[in-house]
Amino acid sequence: LGDKMLYDPVLALNKINEVLVEKLNGYLPAAPKGFIKDEESTKGNNVGALFGMQGAIMASAEYNEDKPEPVSSDDAGYVEDTRSKITVSLAVGGILGKAGAFANFGQMAGGDANSKSIRIKGYTGTVNYNKNDKRGTMVLQLGDKVSITAEGSNLANTDILKSVIESIKLNELEKGF
């Protein structure tokens, strides 16, 4: 593999991205209190290769509320998982690493009524919560290249999303990439 990388810059770049993805996975937060991290969902991707943006990487994890009897059904037989769920995604580079900036711009340009600006540990982002369907999204921009997205369903509010983002070493994550 070593000699091939000398002559194949794409192979070399992919290997570098593998190392960076592993590093990025290390910043995914532990499960918040009352939740279980779905280890099967924890993954990192060299997404730049997929979208023609070399150097763009992403890591994500899912967290499920730790409670029994996670389903309910209605008279029509529709079964719904009533547990709260959270997905956290970290993106670096390319257009994905600027997701927080785009979200902030959309909010400033008069985004939807459920959206508002937030500040977490000195970083700017947006939060959107729809109380009717109990869904929320929080996007935070760290510098020019890193964005964090936390999404949740069956949430009473967005406090848990904020708590999850606050548990990440934000300054270290920004400086590390």
> pLDDT digit string (tens) for 76-131?
666 677 889 999 999 988 655 555 444 444 444 445 667 899 999 999 999 999 99
Could you tell me the CA-to-CA distances from 133 to 27, 31, 79, 84, 153 in Å, in that order? 29, 23, 16, 12, 8
| pTM metric for this prediction | 0.78
- Burial of 138: CB neighbours in 10 Å, binned 0-12, 13-18, 19+: buried
Segment 49-79, tens digit of pLDDT: 444 455 678 889 999 999 876 566 666 666 6
**What's the rounded Cα separation, in Å, for the pair 27 and 118?**
21
- Contact indicator for 49, 83 with CB cutoff of 8 Å: no
